[in-house]
Amino acid sequence: MGILSRFSDIISSNINALLDKAEDPSKMVDEYLRKMTADLADVKQETAGVMAEESRCKRLVDENKAEVAKYMDLAKKALTAGSEDDARVFLGKKQQLEAEGASLQTAYAAAHENAIKMRQMHDKLVKDINTLNARRQSIKAKVAVAKTQKKVNELGASADKLQDNMGAFERMEAKADQMLDEANAMSELNSQPVDEAQALEDKYRKGDTDASVEDELSKLKQQMGL
């Protein structure tokens, strides 16, 4: 998910650099929109990849559940046929698959969360681009007026006129600051914590496999009246 931190840097750092160096805010807005539009293409591709991973993990979970059900059915058939040894083998395989299924479910939950966050970031970026596009012409018009007023001041406008022009530039700066605040408000992804307890649980569960198989075999026989 390194692409997300890269986008965060673009939003929080590069826009500041553009503002610091910009002599013409209208050109800065064009440059910022160009960068955001290029980044949107990368976001779309990354989001598609994360959503594909979510689908893959979900498919593995479903396949695992089907396998667990299959071996339970085979264990029942073995007992019906009078073969407890075969039933033990099938139940052992079922428990192995159930242990694998727990890990698969954890992976799917993480992939699902990542897919949600990526889609939210994608939608936020699209919204921000649309907002800036809608404001761009207004900013350009204000900058054009400000440039004209500056030329008038340089030709010898009065002190009062100069003060008015300074107020116009302050409003333009405030508008640029507002753009920066909106850009810096984009959400960052939180990393999915590793479940260390789950890993240790899988480690110690292996020692109880034989006993749990015998317990489940006994319960299954009672249920089937054997």
pLDDT in tens, 31-63: 777 887 888 888 888 888 889 999 999 999 999
Q: Does the structure show a pLDDT above 70 at 28?
A: yes
Q: Which of 78-92, 125-139, 194-208 holds the top average pLDDT?
A: 78-92
- The string of pLDDT tens digits covering residues 83-96 is 999 999 999 999 99
Q: Which of 148, 158, 122, 154 is nearest to 50 (CA)?
A: 122
Residue 158 DSSP symbol: -
Q: Which of 203, 212, 220, 202 is nearest to 92 (CA)?
A: 212
Provide the pLDDT for residue 18: 52
- The string of pLDDT tens digits covering residues 5-26 is 655 554 444 454 554 565 667 7
Q: Tell me the whole-structure pTM to 2 decimals.
A: 0.48
Of 89-93, 96-100, 211-215, the poorest mean pLDDT is in 211-215
Q: Does the structure show a pLDDT above 60 at 197?
A: yes
Contacts of 40 (CB under 8 A, 6+ apart): 122, 125, 126, 129
Q: Does the structure show a pLDDT above 80 at 120?
A: yes
**Identity of the residue numbered 103:** S
For residues 140-161, average pLDDT: 66
- Cα–Cα distance for residue pair 213/216, rounded to 1 Å: 5
Could you tell me the residue ranges of all domains in the chain?
2-224
